[in-house]
Amino acid sequence: MTSTEDFYMKRALQIAKLGEGKVAPNPLVGSVIVHPRHGIIGEGFHGFFGGPHAEVNAISNVKNQDWLSESTIYVNLEPCCHFGKTPPCADLIIDRKIPNVVICNLDPHPLVAGRGIQKLESAGVHVVYGVLESEGQALNKKFFISQKKKRPFITLKWAQTRDGFVARTDGSSKWISGPQSRQWVHKMRSQHQAIFAGNNTLRIDNPELNVRDWKGPAPVRVVIDPNLKLTPELKIFSSKESEIWIFNSIRNETVLNKNYLLLDPGNDFIGQVLKVLWEKGIHSLFVEGGSQMLNHFIEKEIWDEAMVFTGPMEFGSGLKAPEIKNGILSEVKQIENDFLSCWHSSANE
């Protein structure tokens, strides 16, 4: 049997999801206000980046504001106590005299991290936290893991044949996985703030790296091109609907949708790119290959999830697929004739 606290927190987590695709790099947050006699009197969620927080929306949705002083507010993230783009939620809760707060996860934000709870408690508010903690962590895994690691949450993705190759000996790799798997890939792209691919992949596969087969946000496309050698005819440059960040050693300027960013020559390029992405608020990254790039992330243990599509055909020889190290297989799904293996890094356990 679920407790009352679990019941209402489940609802908060459910409505938090309504912000999916709109709030990154902020977390998904939902809030439910419950009165002992009238039940749920208000609900709200964080709906867009820079917009009002869940608690603010839930509180303003309560018709009879006098009931707040007898109610409990459920929220899946510790109420903030800092002035960000919006004023502190803890102050609003105190101001409206809400006597009870139930929280799922603590906010790792360096200006909050327990101080939201402290502020509420010192004002006499009764606080409970840790309700459905692991569900909340799973919902906001990109937020929690990126905050902890101070780099984007990284998902690796590739498609391999049944006998473990990502390309034929001539480099070609078209159609390893079927159309529905490709739709899944577009959905996954839209769930990340940026997509990254190595130059061999850009030259040989010539991908657009945009979201065509799914409705959702168009992530920033990231490439590393130290001497600006990638030719303008590549599809990634001709599709204009999302930004391209071109890390290079020559130019530092923005031209239409192209953002040229300078790299320090001779230094770990990928490390530099991850640092800049983090600092510019890109907190999730989808890495689409090729195998050299993917192997780099695996070797250095800078990845959080890996989505591996295995198609039905065999190449017999060719370019070997990367091999996961220190990963835990969490799920295998069948998608038409393909299998999708979902891995997560054991470092995040």
Which residues have a Cβ under 8 Å from the Cβ of 72 and sit 6 or more positions away? 8, 33, 34, 98, 99, 100, 101, 102
Under DSSP, is residue 250 helix (H, G, I), strand (E, B) or coil?
Answer: coil
Q: Does 86 bind ligand AOF (CB under 6 A)?
A: yes
Residue 157 contacts which entry, Zn ion, ligand AOF, none (Cβ below 5-8 A, type-dependent):
none
Q: Does 79 bind ligand AOF (CB under 6 A)?
A: yes
# residues near ligand AOF by CB under 6 A: 17
> Half-sphere exposure of 4 toward its Cβ, with a 13 Å CA cutoff?
10
Which CB, 79 or 152, lies closer to ligand AOF?
79
The counts of H helices and E strands in the chain are 11, 17
Which CB, 46 or 157, lies closer to ligand AOF?
46
Among 10, 11, 46, 53, binds Zn ion (CB under 5 A): 53
Q: Does 235 bind ligand AOF (CB under 6 A)?
A: no
Among 89, 222, 263, 308, binds ligand AOF (CB under 6 A): 89
Q: Does 308 bind Zn ion (CB under 5 A)?
A: no
Q: Whole-angstrom Cα distance, residue 109 to residue 129?
A: 16
Which CB, 100 or 183, lies closer to ligand AOF?
100
233 flagged as catalytic:
no
Q: Does 98 bind Zn ion (CB under 5 A)?
A: no
Q: Please give the structure tokens belonging to residue 134.
A: 């692991």
Q: Whole-angstrom Cα distance, residue 273 to residue 276?
A: 5
Give the number of other CB atoms < 10 A from CB of residue 302. 20
Element (H, E) at 100: strand 100-105
Q: Does 150 bind ligand AOF (CB under 6 A)?
A: no
Which CB, 23 or 293, lies closer to ligand AOF?
23
- Cα dihedral angle (208, 213, 219, 222), rounded to 10 degrees? -20
**Which residue stretch of 50-58, 213-221, 275-283, 307-315 sits at the interface with ligand AOF (rule: CB under 6 A)?**
50-58
Q: Does 120 bind Zn ion (CB under 5 A)?
A: no
Catalytic residues: 55
What is the binding site for Zn ion (CB under 5 A)? 53, 80, 89
